[in-house]
Amino acid sequence: MVLYNVTMNVDKGIEEDWLNWMKEVHVKDVLATGFFSDCKVFQLMSEEPQGTTYAFQYFAKSAKDIQAYQDQHGAKLQMDVISRYGDKVMSFRTLLKHVHSHSKSK
């Protein structure tokens, strides 16, 4: 499993609208490409004067799936965010490879 993590810092003035749009439109559009099985959304718990930071974690079977997503859909879907919110949202992307899981025993 590979995790495609998109970290976004959002201006507080648009945060509510942006988060609703991300959950109701953007994440669904990304998942509809067929390259990801799931998306989890986290909010950083630290206070930041420049805005609120969120991490969108998209789960894929392989790095090849993420590369295909980026080649076929990434630029257009990223532009959707930029054209709607401009410089009120700053983002960066990282890839993480799953190497181990450990669960609490019952």
With respect to residue 106, please indicate whether it lies within any of the assigned structural domains.
no
With respect to residue 105, please indicate whether it lies within any of the assigned structural domains.
no
With respect to residue 102, please indicate whether it lies within any of the assigned structural domains.
no
* pLDDT > 70? residue 1: yes
Q: What is the pLDDT of residues 50-77, one digit of tens each?
A: 899 999 999 999 999 999 999 999 999 9
pLDDT of 47 reads 75
Give how far Cα 38 sits from Cα of 5, 56, 58, 60, Å.
12, 10, 6, 8
Domain that holds residue 57: 2-97
Number of separate domains in the chain: 1
pLDDT of 105 reads 78
First to last CA, the chain: 25
With respect to residue 103, please indicate whether it lies within any of the assigned structural domains.
no
pLDDT of 106 reads 67
With respect to residue 104, please indicate whether it lies within any of the assigned structural domains.
no
